[in-house]
Amino acid sequence: MQGKAENHFDYTLMAPGPVNLHPKVREILAHPMIHHRTPEFDKILAQALKRLKIVFQTEQPVYALSSTGSGGMEVLLVNTLSPGDSILVVNSGKFGERWAEMARTFGVQVDELKITWGQAVTPEHIAEKLKTKTYHAVLTQACETSTGVLHPIQKLGAVIKNYQHTLFLVDGITALGAVPLPMDEWSIDGLVGGSQKAFMLPTGMSFVSFSKKAHARFEHAKIPKFYFDIRKEIAANAKGETFFSSNVSLIKALNYVLAEIESAGLAPLFKTIQRRADFVAYLMETLGLSSYAAVKSASLTAVALPNSTDGQKLRELMEVDFNLTVMGGQDQAKGKIIRIGHMGYIQDKDQMHLATALYHSLQKLNMTPSISFIDFQTQMKNWLAQN
């Protein structure tokens, strides 16, 4: 962190997670602690677990775990697979790579379907692979955060559901709550979300759900596990509790966010996030920049930069001069892109701040936009007023 983030009142976080917190969430997080084995907390937990189903769009139970998103990814693996099982992992960036590595750690045989960074996997890719071998599961990100790509989950689900012995496990960490991902309708067998994304909370919780087909695997899955044995959580939830100590503050804040989603519906949330992505698309077009992702997710935009512009320097300048954080690229995309998040609590004034920061920082790096700042600012304001 090179900026002035300690001055949190005018700091803007526009990473693809963690995200700016809703003021009400910040207030809830400052409440005095209550014990998790109390009727007061039991009520909150029951509501939150029920409301999570709205975001997952499932009839199945959703479990709320004290772990980051990667812990939730591990939960999907260890509860459905055994050492020696064969799986197919879509590796289209950093997080696909992580899931493959995680599975190998547990002795699972991994075939990787490597996709060029910035591209999406196709249903044909998967269909071809499934014809050649029996896989116990196919794993993919819904949105690969390192490239900003959205994969065609609905179409993949339609292919995989025809294979009785194959589960479809989806990392929805940067997708759930930001783009439609109806678990039941799209035949997803295991789905994981993370608190620091569209759930608008701090990092520290993952949310997971399993289809009936996946549930049937629990008793046969031989990967050793203790903390992440979902059967413990199922038994505890049946008694209205979590198995381990509950993440009281985050679950209270989660329940607030979910109550808001319940009353407004999911569609307005998707629309709000899409509007932010559309604004950034307009901003890029105006500045002569393009998308790194061939198929863009509404949850973030990966902006491709000209060779002459160093993305790391650009994001540093935005942070130092404007107290605004966006992310750079990782590995092969390092220096070549910046990634702007559209989830969390972002207002139009933050979007204007982003536009200003990007314009001036590009200028400082000698990529002078062809439009004057005054005209640029007017166009951005007009877009926000009209859309």
Q: What is the smallest separation between the CB atom of 203 and ligand PLP, expressed in angstroms?
A: 6
Helices (runs of H) and strands (runs of E) counted in the chain:
13, 15
DSSP 21: P
Place of tokens 């693809």: 16
Report the C-alpha gap between 74 and 224 in whole angstroms. 12
In the complex, least distance from residue 16 CB atom to ligand PLP, rounded to whole angstroms: 7
- State the minimum distance, in angstroms, from the CB of residue 17 to ligand PLP: 5
Strands 167-171 and 137-141: parallel
Taking the complex as a whole, how short is the minimal distance between the CB of residue 146 and ligand PLP, in angstroms? 8
- Complete DSSP assignment for 44-56: HHHHHHHHHHHHH
Task: Tell me the closest approach of the beta carbon of residue 378 to ligand PLP, in angstroms.
Answer: 35
Closest to ligand PLP by CB, 198 or 317: 198
User: Which residues sit at the interface with ligand PLP, rule CB under 6 A?
Assistant: 17, 68-70, 95, 141, 145, 171, 173-174, 194, 203
Angle, CA 365 vertex, CA 364 and CA 366 arms, to 5°: 90
Which of 270, 257, 292, 279 minimizes the C-alpha distance to 146? 292
Residue number, 150 or 167, with CB nearest to ligand PLP: 150
Q: Which is nearer to ligand PLP, 79 or 146 (CB)?
A: 146
- Strands of 337-341's sheet in order across: 290-291, 300-304, 337-341, 327-328
For residue 203, the tally of other CB atoms under 10 A from its CB is 15
Smaller CB separation from ligand PLP, 95 or 292 = 95
- CA gap 156, 86 in Å, rounded: 18
Beta strands of the chain (E only): which ranges? 12-13, 62-65, 86-91, 109-114, 137-141, 143-144, 149-150, 167-171, 190-194, 206-210, 290-291, 300-304, 324-325, 327-328, 337-341
Q: State the minimum distance, in angstroms, from the CB of residue 230 to ligand PLP.
A: 17
CB nearer ligand PLP, residue 112 or residue 241: 112
Based on its alpha-carbon atoms, the radius of gyration of the chain, rounded to whole angstroms, reads 21
Pick the closer one to ligand PLP by CB: 201 or 355. Answer: 201
Length of the chain (residues): 387
> Minimum CB separation from ligand PLP for residue 299, in Å?
9
Nearer to ligand PLP, 159 or 201 (CB): 201
Answer whether 7's CB lies under 8 Å from 322's CB. Answer: no
In this structure, the strands spanning 12-13 and 324-325 are parallel
Torsion of CA 156, 157, 162, 165, to 10 degrees: 100
In the complex with ligand PLP, the residue whose CB is nearer, 174 or 211, is 174
- Is 317:365 a contact under the CB 8 Å cutoff? yes
Residue 304 CB, nearest distance to ligand PLP (Å)?
19
With respect to ligand PLP, which residue has the nearer C-beta, 206 or 249?
A: 206
**In the complex, what is the shortest distance from the CB of residue 103 to ligand PLP, in angstroms, rounded to a whole number?**
14
Of 85 and 171, nearer to ligand PLP (C-beta) is 171
The shares of helix, strand and coil residues in the chain, as percent rounded to the nearest 5, are 45, 15, 40
Q: How many CB atoms lie within 10 A of CB 181?
A: 23
Smallest gap from residue 247 Cβ to ligand PLP (A): 14
> Burial, 149: exposed, middle or buried (Cβ in 10 Å; 0-12, 13-18, 19+)?
buried
